[in-house]
Amino acid sequence: MSNINPDPFTTRPEIDGTFGVVTSTHWIATAIGMATLEKGGNAFDAGAATAFTLQVVEPHLNGPGGDVPIIVHDIKRGRTEVICGQGPAPSGATIAHYRGEGLEMVPGTGLLAACVPGTFESWMLLLRDYGTLRLRDVLEPAIAYARDGYPLVERASATIATVEQMFRKHWTTSAAVYLPNNEVPKPGTLFTNKTLSETYARILKEAESAGADRVAQIERARKAWSHGFVAEAIDQFCRTQDIMDVSGSPHRGVLRADDMARWQPTVEAPLTYDYGRYTVCKPGVWSQGPVMLQQLALLKGFELDGLDPAGPEFIHLQVECAKLAFADREKFYGDPNFNEIPITTLLSDAYNDERRKLISDRASLDFVPGSVQGFGSVVKLRRQQGNREAVGAMGAGEPTVGRFGEVRRHRAFGHHRFRWQHDLGDPVRRLAAVVGGDSGTRLLPRQPRADVLARGESSGSAGAGQAPAHHA
For residue 389, the model assigns a pLDDT of: 41
CB 162 within 8 A of CB 154: no
Element (H, E) at 13: none
Residue 8 lies in a domain: no
Closest CA to 140 of 235, 35, 213, 61: 35
103 against 443, higher pLDDT = 103
For residue 404, the model assigns a pLDDT of: 40
Residue 21 lies in a domain: no
CA 304 to chain centre: 30
For residue 42, the model assigns a pLDDT of: 97
User: Residue 315 contacts by C-beta under 8 Å, 6 or more apart in sequence?
Assistant: 410, 412, 413
User: Residue 145 contacts by C-beta under 8 Å, 6 or more apart in sequence?
Assistant: 28, 53, 56, 57
Q: Do residues 38 and 145 both lie within one domain? A: yes
Number of domains making up the chain = 2
382 against 167, higher pLDDT = 167
Q: Do residues 171 and 287 both lie within one domain? A: no
Amino acid sitting at position 41: G
Q: Give the CATH number for residue 279.
A: 1.10.246.130
For residue 400, the model assigns a pLDDT of: 39
For residue 13, the model assigns a pLDDT of: 77
- Alpha helix (H) residue ranges in 39-162: 43-57, 95-100, 119-130, 135-148, 154-162
For residue 413, the model assigns a pLDDT of: 31
Residue 22 lies in a domain: no
Q: Do residues 120 and 246 both lie within one domain? A: yes
Q: Do residues 182 and 35 both lie within one domain? A: yes
For residue 384, the model assigns a pLDDT of: 57
Q: Looking at 193-207, 273-287, 424-438, which range is the least confident one?
A: 424-438
For residue 200, the model assigns a pLDDT of: 98
Residue 379 lies in a domain: no
**What whole-number distance in Å separates Cα of residue 113 and Cα of residue 337?**
20
For residue 218, the model assigns a pLDDT of: 98
- Cα distance between the two ends of the chain: 39
**DSSP track, 195-252:** HHHHHHHHHHHHHHTT-S-HHHHHHHHHHHHHTSHHHHHHHHHHHH--EE-TTSSEE-
Q: Do residues 238 and 289 both lie within one domain? A: no
Residue 203 lies in a domain: yes
CB 54 within 8 A of CB 24: yes
Q: Do residues 299 and 316 both lie within one domain? A: yes
Residue 381 lies in a domain: no
> CA-CA distances (angstroms) from residue 327 to 189, 322, 381?
42, 8, 11
413: containing domain: 271-374+387-422
Q: How much of the chain exceeds pLDDT 70, in percent?
A: 79
Per the prediction, the chain carries an average pLDDT of 83
pLDDT tens-digit map of 294-318: 999 999 999 999 899 889 999 999 9
For residue 5, the model assigns a pLDDT of: 60
Q: Do residues 200 and 244 both lie within one domain? A: yes
Q: Do residues 43 and 141 both lie within one domain? A: yes
What's the rounded mean pLDDT across residues 232-243? Answer: 97
Count, residues in the chain: 472
Around Cβ 302, how many Cβ atoms within 10 Å? 15
**What whole-number distance in Å separates Cα of residue 254 and Cα of residue 238?**
6
pLDDT tens-digit map of 277-289: 999 999 999 999 9
> CA-CA distances (angstroms) from residue 220 to 210, 264, 277, 342, 440?
7, 14, 44, 40, 25
pLDDT tens-digit map of 146-167: 999 999 999 999 999 999 999 9
Residue 465 lies in a domain: no
User: pTM for this structure?
Assistant: 0.82
CA 155 to chain centre: 17
Contacts 24+ apart (CB under 8 A), 319-323: 319/363, 319/410, 319/415, 320/359, 320/363, 320/364, 321/295, 321/359, 322/291, 322/295, 323/364, 323/368
Q: Do residues 296 and 257 both lie within one domain? A: no
pLDDT reading at 334 higher than 60: yes
- Alpha helix (H) residue ranges in 347-403: 349-356, 389-393
pLDDT reading at 131 higher than 80: yes
Q: Do residues 217 and 138 both lie within one domain? A: yes
Q: Do residues 444 and 414 both lie within one domain? A: no
For residue 432, the model assigns a pLDDT of: 27
What's the rounded mean pLDDT across residues 241-262? Answer: 96
Q: Do residues 94 and 201 both lie within one domain? A: yes
> CA-CA distances (angstroms) from residue 149 to 115, 138, 143, 152, 159?
29, 18, 10, 9, 18
CB 447 within 8 A of CB 47: yes
> CA-CA distances (angstroms) from residue 151 to 57, 148, 185, 263, 439?
8, 11, 10, 36, 18
